[in-house]
Amino acid sequence: MTGRARFASVVLDVDSTLSAIEGIDWLAARRGREVGARVAELTDRAMRGEIALDSVYGARLALVRPERGEIEALANAYVNGAAADAGTVVRALIDAGVRVVVVSGGVREAIVPFAASLGVRSTDVHAVSLRFAADGTYEGFDERSPLATATGKRDVVDALDLPAPALAVGDGSTDLAMRSAVAAFAAFTGFVQREPVVAAAEFVVPSFTSLQELVLA
């Protein structure tokens, strides 16, 4: 790693951080106004920390029941909604010797191709896998994944044993849960600003350009 990097590792959230898309909300919108509004409300309340993600994760998917083809479309939506300069900055961090990993409560099958478009290997992507029947219909999700819980990101980051010091970056309460597993937390406000998350963060980054300036200062 070069001597310029302030952090040896960076942990990135996906929804409303690397991309403007909230994956489950995007999928729910395809089920009509009522389902879309209900799922979006649950997502927002969980990200604000008003309700535990554990209590709504499976419920949201049960309402939506996404099909395999829709997950492929979601991957494209992530790419189209990518934060400005996200790919350029991620590659700059990696080129500087920084370990970059993606940790998300979103759907792994949609996030892996999106992360690849930014230069992140599939082995550095941690998200929740779905199960599909042979005809592509939804069968369920990996209920053992800690990422389907409110504090699971912390447990995943702990287990990764990343090069220190590590910086976690995200917009929601589930991202803030990583704080105890890293040296510092940066609230990303490029798409949404949640005041409790901002108040608890060591840094606030409104863009990926500002994240690069923070990490490679």
Q: Using 50, 70 and 90 to split pLDDT, how confident is the model at 22?
A: very high
Which pLDDT value is given to residue 97? 97
- At 46-73, the pLDDT tens digits run 888 898 888 899 999 999 999 999 999 9
At residue 16, does pLDDT exceed 80? yes
Distance CA 199, CA 177 (A): 14
* Catalytic one of 15, 25, 171, 175: 15
Q: Which residues contact 100 (CB under 8 A, 6 or more apart)?
A: 9, 10, 12, 90, 93, 94, 120, 124
Specify which residues 131 forms β-bridges with: 140
pLDDT bucket at 2, cuts 50 / 70 / 90: very low
Mean pLDDT across 79-84: 98
Active site residue 15: yes
Q: Please state, in angstroms and rounded to a whole number, the distance separating the CA atoms of residues 85 and 71.
A: 24
Q: Which residues are CB-contacts of 206 (< 8 A; sequence separation ≥ 6)?
A: 188, 189, 190
Rg (CA), the chain: 16
Q: What is the DSSP letter of 183?
A: S
Quick one: tokens of 23? 């994956």
Contact 98, 7 (CB under 8 A): yes
164 burial type by CB count under 10 A (0-12 exposed, 13-18 middle, 19+ buried):
exposed
Residue 107 has pLDDT above 80, yes or no: yes
pLDDT digits (tens, 9 = 90+) for 112-137: 999 999 999 999 999 999 999 999 99
**Which of 13, 25, 171, 175 is an active site residue?**
13
Positive/negative CA dihedral, 181, 142, 114, 25: negative
Percentage of the chain lying above the pLDDT 90 cut: 91
What is the average pLDDT value for the chain, to the nearest integer? 95
Domains of the chain (ranges, CATH numbers)? 9-215 (3.40.50.1000)
pLDDT band at 3 (very low <50, low <70, confident <90, very high): low
Is-catalytic flag, 13?
yes
Structure tokens given for 61: 């998917």
